[in-house]
Structure 1
């Protein structure tokens, strides 16, 4: 997660926050495997804790968090990236899945 977060200022010349979005599309590191590695990491951490401790409440919380991420990405994130980066994002989106990582890195 930290690697994915650090790529925004280093390669994207911005942040993941809408107030200072990246100027370049970030498609390196874990972004070569999955389009939303930070959201996948957070959801996996929560689900892992729920499984490790056998806590259904934590698993339910993880499902709610993932649903929030899903709605945010589909309703706001992807449309904004599509407008901002056009064909570059379209090509990336066609080759890298939203939630389930690829086996091999995308070399776009």
Structure 2
């Protein structure tokens, strides 16, 4: 595919992510925080993900500044990127939908927070992380640039490694044996595998 088409497809996916998340962000603001694990590390990690998954791709799409790091991919890889982004968007939407008022962008528990074990959560504990990993893979396949294309997987990968344990500890403290049993029944990212 030509570069312009890839840029347009990527931006459609990016805008779709914001459209999916917007109503949940709005709804979350009305629900009081009862436990907050937001640390300086958390803020830094979120900032790095913001740079890697939004700022650098948008710079790539709208300017020639990163052109020096471009690479070429075969057509099948571009189509794989489109399909991967479509799956990521569905999983992103489904994760938000199933969480409802329990969703939070940071390590927080909201008033009335419940343990969600139905919908997509009956198969994997962290489907939103799975969707974002898929989004990062799609980013690398739709933005053929060593800097902007790979920035998502690097920044989100670091955040995931440093965050998921803290998140699961928070859930264990809140839900105890129920969450421990849930952990025994599900995998973190890929059903039956990982």
**TM-score normalised by length of structure 1:** 0.75
Structure 1: 5+ residue stretches without partners: 104-108
**TM-score normalised by length of structure 2:** 0.45
Number of residue-to-residue matches in the alignment:
98
Moved more, 61-70 or 90-99: 61-70
Q: Which residue of 2 aligns with 1:106?
A: none
CA offset at residue 22 of structure 1?
A: 5.5
Residues 47 and 21 (structure 1), Cα distance of their counterparts in 2 relative to 1, 3 Å cut: farther
Q: Output aligned runs, 1:73-92, within 5 Å.
A: 73-74=164-165, 76-92=166-182
CA offset at residue 21 of structure 1?
A: 5.8
Q: Which residue of 1 aligns with 2:3?
A: none
Q: Which has the larger radius of gyration?
A: 2
CA offset at residue 19 of structure 1?
A: 5.3
Which of 28, 48, 51 in structure 1 is aligned with 2:138? 48
Q: Which residue of 2 aligns with 1:70?
A: 161
CA offset at residue 31 of structure 1?
A: 1.1
For 2:112 and 2:191, locate their aligned partners in 1 and report how far apart those are by CA, in whole Å. 22
Cα RMSD for the two superposed structures: 2.1
- Residue 16 in 1 paired to residue 103 in 2? yes
Residues 21 and 67 (structure 1), Cα distance of their counterparts in 2 relative to 1, 3 Å cut: farther
Structure 2: 5+ residue stretches without partners: 1-91
For 2:189 and 2:158, locate their aligned partners in 1 and report how far apart those are by CA, in whole Å. 12
Q: Deviation above 4 Å: which 4+ runs of structure 1?
A: none
